[in-house]
């Protein structure tokens, strides 16, 4: 399926020759999604789908499922697993769908109202490739009251409702998380170019987007801003993003709070972890050890750490390129599904 998605994505506008009806439908849904949700620009949707293509690499899939083969072969009863998907970035619920199908269970999907078109388009393509999946996926218009298990993703507020409605079932309920980057001043221009992707991909809306910089003492913030500016032009073309930066800049000015203006982004020294769209917080520390302590203290709020200096940190530019074996909130979704 990855090859078929990639073939469709790389076509020029209206060049549908040789594409299946389902590939063409997927391209149509991508275009419609951009109209319905102003955050889903073609560039960002294409980036999300390229991530899906990478996940569907045959070698990577085989390595991923190898540790689970024995348990997969011993699954006797197919369960109906509800997947309540988020809609902050394009097709963000795909990995949960993949896990449910690979585990042998049935996916009962409720898409977000912010992203109601992309997952159905993917499912249609999948069924056209292998019709056996036609009775393995149900897409709902509204959540139903009964499941065998539930995987639900949303904000901290919605998680309280998920706990109330789905707490009686085996479940994974994900709350709001964000990501951080560690900077020491030793970073190369290539590192900062990668950091720009970690900050600005999906306009900062994803849980793997860096919302806070953890910097060592005497770090040159202005030098960082000068370098990031070179990689942020694409932000100017999104009206919703521009509305956010105008609003947040106005609030900071009215409140007489200090901030640094990068034109297309703002930096603010702040001890908080979660920053508003278009704003990146930063905080200074005396040492890497202090930074490590901060990360440990906030580990239940942090999705990933961008740094080669921190254990299990990801490389600059890799935050939004999760592998198929990278589980959200570090909860093994496959293990959960195979234990049902």
Quick one: pLDDT at residue 311?
86
Q: Name the CATH superfamily for 2-176.
A: Aldehyde Dehydrogenase; Chain A, domain 1 (3.40.605.10)
Q: Which of 24, 86, 94, 27 is nearest to 56 (CA)?
A: 94
pLDDT-derived band of residue 55, with 50, 70 and 90 as boundaries?
Answer: very high
Q: What is the DSSP string of 196-227?
A: HHHHHGGGG-STTSEEEEEEETT--HHHHHHH
pLDDT score, position 75: 85
Query: What is the reported pLDDT for 24?
Result: 94
At 37 the pLDDT is 97
CATH class of the domain at 178-306: alpha beta
DSSP 109-135: EE--TTS-SHHHHHHHHHHHH-GGGGG
- Residue 245: enclosing H or E segment and its boundaries? helix 239-254
Count of residues making up the chain: 340
Q: How far apart are CA 315 and CA 306, in angstroms?
A: 6
Tens digits of residue pLDDT in 107-149: 999 999 999 999 999 999 999 999 999 999 999 988 888 999 9
- Residues 225-274: tens digit of each pLDDT: 999 999 999 999 999 999 999 999 999 999 999 999 999 999 999 999 99
In the prediction, which pLDDT does 294 show? 97
Predicted pLDDT of residue 50? 96
Strand ordering across the sheet containing 279-285? 260-261, 266-269, 279-285, 210-216, 178-183, 302-306
Q: pLDDT for 184-233, tens place per residue?
A: 999 999 999 999 999 999 999 999 999 999 999 999 999 999 999 999 99
What pLDDT is attached to residue 15? 86
Going from N- to C-terminal start, the domains of the chain cover 2-176, 178-306
User: d(Cα 109, Cα 132) in Å, to the nearest integer?
Assistant: 17
Enter the DSSP assignment of 313: P
Q: What is the pLDDT of residues 270-304, one digit of tens each?
A: 999 999 999 999 999 999 999 999 999 999 999 99
Could you give the CA distance from residue 45 to residue 40 in angstroms, rounded to a whole number? Answer: 6
The pTM of this model reads 0.95
Q: Mind listing the pLDDT tens digit for each residue in 11-35? A: 888 888 999 999 999 999 999 999 9
Of the pLDDT bands very low, low, confident and very high (cuts 50, 70, 90), residue 177 is very high
The CA distance from 232 to 122, in Å, is 30
Overall average pLDDT of the 78-102 stretch? 97
CB 48 within 8 A of CB 91: yes
Longest dimension (CA), the chain: 63
Question: Is 90 exceeded by the pLDDT of residue 323?
Answer: yes
pLDDT of residue 187: 96
* More confident: 332 or 74: 332
| Distance in angstroms (rounded) separating the CA atoms of residues 128 and 117 | 17
Residue 12: the pLDDT is 84
Q: What is the pLDDT of residue 142?
A: 85
């Amino acid at each position: 399926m990855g090859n078929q998605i990639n073939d469709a994505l790389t076509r020029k506008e209206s060049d549908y020759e040789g594409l299946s009806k389902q590939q063409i439908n997927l391209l149509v849904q991508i275009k419609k999604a951009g109209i319905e949700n102003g955050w889903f620009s073609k560039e960002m949707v294409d980036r999300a789908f390229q991530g899906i293509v990478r996940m569907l690499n045959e070698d990577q899939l085989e390595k991923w499922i190898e540790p689970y083969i024995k348990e997969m072969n011993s699954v006797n009863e197919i369960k109906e697993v509800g997947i309540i998907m988020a809609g902050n970035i394009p097709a963000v619920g795909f990995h949960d769908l993949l896990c449910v199908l690979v585990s042998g269970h049935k996916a009962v999907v409720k898409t977000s109202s912010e992203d109601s078109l992309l997952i159905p388009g993917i499912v249609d393509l999948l069924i056209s490739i292998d019709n056996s999946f036609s009775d393995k996926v149900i897409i709902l218009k509204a959540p139903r009251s009964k499941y065998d298990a539930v995987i639900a993703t949303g904000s901290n507020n919605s998680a309280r409702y998920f706990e109330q409605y789905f707490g009686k079932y085996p479940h994974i309920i994900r709350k709001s998380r964000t990501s951080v980057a560690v900077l020491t001043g030793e970073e190369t221009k290539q590192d900062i170019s990668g950091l720009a992707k970690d900050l600005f991909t999906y306009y900062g809306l994803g849980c793997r987007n860096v919302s806070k910089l953890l910097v060592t003492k005497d770090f040159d913030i202005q030098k960082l801003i000068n370098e990031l500016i070179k990689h942020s032009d694409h932000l100017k073309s999104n009206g919703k993003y521009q509305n956010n930066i105008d609003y947040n800049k106005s609030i900071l000015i009215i409140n007489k709070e200090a901030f640094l203006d990068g034109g297309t982004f703002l930096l603010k020294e702040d001890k908080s972890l979660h920053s508003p769209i278009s704003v990146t917080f930063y905080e200074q520390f005396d040492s890497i050890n202090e930074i490590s302590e901060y990360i440990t203290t906030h580990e239940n709020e942090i999705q990933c750490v961008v740094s080669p200096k921190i254990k299990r940190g990801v490389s600059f530019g890799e935050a939004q390129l999760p592998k198929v074996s990278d589980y959200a909130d570090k909860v093994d979704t496959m293990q959960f599904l195979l234990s049902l």
